Amino acid sequence: MSENKEHVKCLIIGSGPAGYTAAIYAARADLKPVLYQGLQPGGQLTETTEVDNFPGYPEGINGPQMMIDLQKQAERFDTDVRTGWVTRVDFTGPVHEVEIDNGKHIITADSVIIATGASAKWLGLESELRLRDAGGGVSACAVCDGFFYRGQDVAIVGAGDTAAEEASYLAKLCNKVYMLVRRDEMRASKAMQTRVMNMENIEILFNHETVEVLGEHGVEGAKVKNTATGEERELKITGFFVAIGHKPNTDVFKPWLDLDGQGYIKNVPGTAKTNVEGVFVAGDAADHVYRQAVTAAGTGCMAALDAERYLANKGIH
Ligand code: NDP
């Protein structure tokens, strides 16, 4: 094999809880996994601060630290963790070919576990991204971070099912929730709209867009604009949630795998199998519903067990 070409039994793409959990199981099953971290080593959890809902951490854990621990755990069993970005795949044959960093490296693999996750969409405002990166009260996950805003006033942007669900979740914890809807109607299902409208502490601001998130080191407010009247006002809030959708990181697999309308990889229900033999999926790349670290870890385990059984049936040891 040429210098940049290498064959592995199990290749894992992605380094969130799904990828690392798959690696822990695959390594312990002696599959000698190679894991490529992708552009955001550690995945979405590196964008959050405290993780309080992952079982086993009674005092909670900081998201980036948790990912370092997961990586160490995968490496303890000799997972080969590498930096690199998958730029092309070829899933035609029984052996799958994966190109890293535009051809710098070519991996052929008997089994591939895709754990590339999804990325939250952001508004793109300078103030929003700065406060998000500083861990200063901007979040794309109410279930993860809502708890820190108990009794406080917060805002959430979006008008789909996720925004409606997260607004109701926040309303149970927070004093007041402003829901910023950019049009004069919501996209969410009728049932979800009714639920939101029936909660007394949710105020829906239709035709409103965010001009700026206010605050130096933490959120102190949001400047919003009524696009129907042009009027601007400031909301006094300490938390700013964005729920305008996620994009699964699956573009590179599109020519080969069955994806749903939003680009999530379709798995065979109850398994981590995809439509291509020997290619498995775990975590948010296939899940637009639960999207939790613990569910991603669970499906990472499933993918590794499915891969192990697949290889055993093929007589690959
Ligand atoms: P959606 O794409 O359905 O909704 C995104 C929302 O964000 C839309 O209301 C959109 O506004 C708004 N938005 C997008 N960009 C901006 C922006 N720049 N500024 C302000 N608002 C913006 O994403 P969801 O995450 O809500 O849902 C994804 C899928 O998952 C859907 O199919 C949904 O039904 C499903 N889902 C189902 C649940 C359930 O059944 N319990 C729970 C959660 C999700 P606009 O409407 O104007 O385009």
Domain boundaries, the chain: 5-119+246-313, 122-242
Ligand 1 pocket test, candidate residues 288, 290, 295, most atoms within 8 A of CB: 288
Residues 186-212 have a mean pLDDT of: 97
Q: Kindly indicate whether the domain formed by 122-242 is annotated with CATH number 3.50.50.60.
A: yes
Q: Whole-angstrom Cα distance, residue 186 to residue 174?
A: 22
Decide: 207 and 230 in contact? Cβ < 8 Å.
Answer: no
Other CB atoms closer than 10 Å to residue 39's CB: what's the count?
11
The answer to whether the CB of 167 is under 6 A from ligand 1 is no
Decide: 252 and 240 in contact? Cβ < 8 Å.
Answer: no
| pLDDT higher than threshold 60 for residue 140 | yes
Ligand 1 pocket test, candidate residues 178, 244, 292, most atoms within 8 A of CB: 244
Q: Which uninterrupted H or E stretch holds 311?
A: helix 293-313
Q: Whole-angstrom Cα distance, residue 139 to residue 117?
A: 17
The answer to whether the CB of 288 is under 6 A from ligand 1 is yes
The answer to whether the CB of 112 is under 6 A from ligand 1 is no
Burial class for 240, CB neighbours closer than 10 Å (0-12, 13-18, 19+): buried
Q: Whole-angstrom Cα distance, residue 241 to residue 155?
A: 6
Catalytic residues: 141, 144-145
- CB-based contacts of 263, cutoff 8 Å, min separation 6: 247, 248, 250, 251, 254
The answer to whether the CB of 162 is under 6 A from ligand 1 is yes
The answer to whether the CB of 23 is under 6 A from ligand 1 is no
Q: Whole-angstrom Cα distance, residue 119 to residue 287?
A: 12
Q: Whole-angstrom Cα distance, residue 78 to residue 81?
A: 9
Question: Can you tell me whether residue 210 is helix, strand or coil?
Answer: strand
Name the pTM for this structure: 0.80
Question: Can you tell me whether residue 205 is helix, strand or coil?
Answer: strand
Tens digits of residue pLDDT in 259-278:
999 999 999 999 999 999 99
The answer to whether the CB of 276 is under 6 A from ligand 1 is no
Decide: 247 and 254 in contact? Cβ < 8 Å.
Answer: no
Least confident among 34-38, 45-49, 81-85, 141-145? 45-49
Structure tokens at 168: 């109701």
| pLDDT higher than threshold 70 for residue 1 | no
Point out the ligand 1 atom lying closest to the alpha carbon of residue 121: 15
Q: How far is the CA of 128 from the centre of ligand 1 (A)?
A: 19
- On the question of a common fold for 5-119+246-313 and 122-242, the answer reads yes
Predicted confidence at residue 144, as pLDDT, reads 85
Phi, psi of 252 (to 5 degrees): -65, -20
Decide: 290 and 126 in contact? Cβ < 8 Å.
Answer: no
Query: 5-119+246-313 in CATH: which number?
Result: 3.50.50.60
Q: How far is the CA of 188 from the centre of ligand 1 (A)?
A: 7
- Please give the share of the chain, as a percent, with pLDDT higher than 70: 98
Burial state string for 4-21 with b = 16 or more CB within 10 A and e = fewer than 16: eeeebbbbbbbbbbbbbb
